[in-house]
Amino acid sequence: MACGSCGTTENGVPKGCKSNGNCGSGTCGSGSNKLAVFDWLSNMTLPTGQERFNIFEVRFKNGRKHFYKNVDNLPITMGDIVAVEGNPGHDIGTVSLAGELVKVQMKKRKITADHEDVKKIYRKASQRDIDIWQQARGKEEETQRRGREILGRLGLQMKLSDVEYQGDGNKATFYYTADARVDFRQLIRDLASAFSIRVEMKQVGARQEAARLGGVGSCGRELCCSTWLTDFRKVTTSAARYQQLSLNPLKLAGQCGKLKCCLNFELDTYLDALKAFPKQDVVLKTEKGDAVFVKMDIFKGHLWYTYKEERFKWFRLTLDQVLEIIDLNKNNEKSATLEEYESDVEIPVKVDFEDAVGQDSLTRFDAPKTSKRRRNNRNKKKKKPVAAAASTTQQKPNARKKPQAKPAAKKGNRQPQKNKPQQQGQAQGQQKPNKPKQKSKPRQKPVAKNTDATKSVAKANANTNKPKVEGKRLNKPRRNNRNRKNNTPKNGKDSEK
């Protein structure tokens, strides 16, 4: 909810009041404008002969509000910046409420029209008043920082939480929190001499400090004390006990260090529901023995009891069953065992959502992912020794069958090398003996049976000296099938010639 002047620019800065989220017109109810009241009577005319109420509500820093009289009957409306009476000097504030609704707010705070706290409005703030006010507000952070340094030098057990300058810049109010009484007379002297201003010290509680600073609670919303809560009631641990909450100070305490104010919000509802429940110290007498209370579920109407002698087993009973056992015990009768009562309890089936569209678990992304590259590398490492063993087993029979499978190599063409060793031997026999021969490297003889194929291989191996032919280079028989593609000559045109 925002006023009409809160349009934002491209950078998110409001165009109207330019307060970066805290409305300055007095109608948004956010930030410093705590508990802003919408004047729904503003468009209504007063009865004839009745004068307009001349007291206005003026808002200052951090939602501080006071009431001021319009003695000079100035034309003042909501949102106007006015100069009001200070102590001493004058202060600058914004009119947050006007008209007949001011009477309701004064009655709520028990302030009358002739009260001494109701001071007067001097004038509408001029541009010079606003400039002095803005300069004074700009010095608050530096004053607070230096004030904490002075406080630490004096060694006082107190915490300086906030500083507020008066509109004319002649006075500053220092808000602090302390657990015990503190003598800060020397602190006031040091602060007055350091900043050349009048100093006022004001002690606030831990809840008021949290309300002034603001923040977000564990529920995910803004703190109640900084948005709408004005009266801070006492919160005790009995409120947590009535609501069956664990007495864990980390969960029950708020940002102020005290028990959360929201523990009182639903307390009345729990107290009304507990009226029908028996007291927790009531002992149930059964045929098997005495049973004592363990815990309860207030809104489901279930209670858990256990035997004094056998505390390892808890029995779920309904509220009607427990009241029935108590009535029997009042008549000096023992009830049946808790096992029989528990067997009659109907536990409702928990209704869960149906996985109609293939929804997965919400925690499916919690486990870290293993990359596919690592998985493939692992699989390759596992397969390497198997592939190596397979290659060694396949090379032996191939080495035996190579001489049979290799064909004769024709010039310039690729053909299967089945009869290649025989043709190489014939070619070597047809060449002239006068030309020099080239020695080839000794080759290992394959172990094979005495067949025609092995005889032809032996003949081919006998002619180890190969002559050199000009312009031509004969291919050697390859031992491995992988090198079949490399058997063709490098220059195919020369081989065709």
327-348 pLDDT tens trace: 999 999 999 999 988 888 877 7
Q: Extract the tokens encoding 375.
A: 């998985």
Q: In Å, how far from its chain's centre is CA 28?
A: 28
Say if 453 falls within a structural domain: yes
Q: Where are the beta strands (DSSP E) in 21-167?
A: 55-59, 65-69, 81-85, 90-97, 119-124, 159-165
What pTM, to 2 d.p., does this model score?
A: 0.55
Give the pairing type, strands 119-124 and 65-69.
parallel
pLDDT at 91: 93
More confident residue, 345 or 353: 345
Say if 142 falls within a structural domain: yes
Both 287 and 253 in one domain: the answer is no
Say if 379 falls within a structural domain: no
Say if 102 falls within a structural domain: yes
pLDDT in tens, 95-152: 988 888 898 889 988 898 888 889 999 999 999 999 999 999 999 999 999 999 999 9
Say if 476 falls within a structural domain: no
Q: In Å, how far from its chain's centre is CA 356?
A: 29
The CATH number for 180's domain is: 3.30.300.20
Say if 365 falls within a structural domain: no
Last residue of a domain, one of 124, 144, 171: 124
Say if 443 falls within a structural domain: yes
Both 61 and 89 in one domain: the answer is yes
pLDDT at 191 over 90: yes
Cβ-based neighbour number of residue 133 at 10 Å: 22
pLDDT at 214: 83
**Mean pLDDT, the chain, integer:** 76
Structural domain of residue 411, as residue ranges? 402-430+437-467
Both 102 and 140 in one domain: the answer is no
pLDDT at 52: 81
Both 256 and 286 in one domain: the answer is no
pLDDT at 24: 41
pLDDT at 315: 92
Label residue 22 by pLDDT band (50, 70, 90): very low
pLDDT at 13: 56
CA pseudo-torsion sign 30, 33, 35, 40: negative
Name which of 80-89, 174-183, 201-210, 344-353 the model is least confident about.
Answer: 344-353
Q: Extract the tokens encoding 401.
A: 């069958």
Contacts of 14 (CB under 8 A, 6+ apart): 5, 6, 7, 8, 20, 21
pLDDT at 415 over 80: no
Label residue 15 by pLDDT band (50, 70, 90): low
pLDDT in tens, 49-106: 778 888 999 999 877 889 999 998 899 888 899 999 998 889 999 998 888 889 888 9
pLDDT at 443 over 80: no
Both 196 and 226 in one domain: the answer is no
Both 245 and 258 in one domain: the answer is yes
- Segment 176-184 shows an average pLDDT of 89
Helical H runs in 110-184? Answer: 127-138, 140-154
Q: Which DSSP category does 496 fall into?
A: H
Say if 168 falls within a structural domain: yes
Cβ-based neighbour number of residue 447 at 10 Å: 9
Label residue 23 by pLDDT band (50, 70, 90): very low
Both 281 and 237 in one domain: the answer is no
More confident residue, 464 or 8: 8
pLDDT at 495 over 60: no
* CA–CA gap between residue 86 and residue 496 (Å, rounded): 116
pLDDT at 285: 92
More confident residue, 481 or 75: 75
Instruction: Return the ∠ at Cα 52 (arms to 122 and 16), rounded to 5°.
Output: 60
DSSP string computed for 437-470: EEEPPP-PPP---SSHHHHHHHHHHH--EEE-BT
pLDDT at 368: 74
Helix count (H) and strand count (E) of the chain? Answer: 15, 14
Q: Where are the beta strands (DSSP E) in 113-270?
A: 119-124, 159-165, 171-177, 198-203
Domain count of the fold of the chain: 5
Percent of the chain surpassing pLDDT 70: 64
* CA–CA gap between residue 172 and residue 144 (Å, rounded): 10
Both 82 and 110 in one domain: the answer is yes
